[in-house]
Amino acid sequence: MNLQAIADELYRHQTSAAELEKLTLRYEGLSVEDAYEIQQLCMGKYMNEGQKLVGWKMGLTSKAKQQSVGVDEPIFGHLLDGMELYDPHVSLTGLIHPRVEPELAFIFKHRLEGDKILPRDVWLATECVVPAVEIIDSRYKNFSFTLVDVVADNASSAKFYLAEQAYSPYQIALDQVGVVMRRNGEVEQTGAGAAVLGHPVRSVVEQVRMLSRIGKAVEPGMVVLTGGITEAIYIHDGDRISVSFEGMGEIELTVSQ
Ligand code: 0L1
Ligand code: MG
């Protein structure tokens, strides 16, 4: 199977905001390992054009999302500098059917690698924790995919925004952080940090272990988005999405064409 050709196809769809049919309907026998290889080849194209790898994102970290895809483990994707929003405003241009979800991001001062990582290694390597929102946007028709499809499509990543205020990793019990997401003042979703694999630190542990399988690591200065705390909601022109993170402030995101 020509994985580079599949990566090229995904890249074209990602950069032109054009939906495509699931890969698994067209390429028989694609494995999860193939999908991660396609993801790397596809992200490599952006990096060859000058984009920088700024971190990693974990996906399918909640029971609800895992059940919707029929899996029992999370996935990961690359975060590139071109995906980062510098202010809390998202333009729908270049996106297909975007959704937003609240997350907690870790920012690192030390390298983390290997498959024997424990939560205490993560705390020692963490500089700070920051409230965040991720805009996901599957390139597949109807936001419908299998595990292999979504891994190849960089875990549906599109954009992310990190709040301006950082917090000490020791200050707040992250599993107990309550989150309320509102659209134009109306409550849409509520959740708590524990929705992310029981505790967001476990998502970082898992991220490092999964990276070790492909010989990669979390490097100093990198960000890890640990996964959605609530279900993601679709966003539309004119939406004002506010997400409050108990004890960690609020993100006010505006959406326009
Ligand atoms: O960030 C995420 O949890 C997305 C993972 C892929 C599944 C989806 O697009 O909902
Ligand atoms: Mg996410």
Q: Report how far residue 191's alpha carbon sits from residue 186's, in angstroms, rounded to the nearest whole number.
A: 15
Mean pLDDT of 30-52: 98
pTM above 0.85, yes or no: yes
Residue 176's domain spans which residues?
3-256
pLDDT for the residue numbered 1: 84
Of the pLDDT bands very low, low, confident and very high (cuts 50, 70, 90), residue 24 is very high
Strand pairing report for 240-245 and 250-256: antiparallel
User: For 200-216, what is each residue's pLDDT tens digit?
Assistant: 999 999 999 999 999 99
Percent of the chain with pLDDT over 90: 95
The residue nearest atom 6 of ligand 1, judged by CA position, is 155
Of the pLDDT bands very low, low, confident and very high (cuts 50, 70, 90), residue 171 is confident
- Structural domains of the chain, count: 1
Q: What is the mean pLDDT of the chain?
A: 97
Of the pLDDT bands very low, low, confident and very high (cuts 50, 70, 90), residue 95 is very high
Select from 76, 95, 137, 150 the residue to mutate for testing ligand 1; criterion: most ligand atoms less than 8 Å from CB. 150
Select from 75, 137, 140, 147 the residue to mutate for testing ligand 1; criterion: most ligand atoms less than 8 Å from CB. 75
Query: What CATH number corresponds to the domain at position 152?
Result: 3.90.850.10
Q: Is 77 a pocket residue for ligand 1 (Cβ < 6 Å)?
A: no
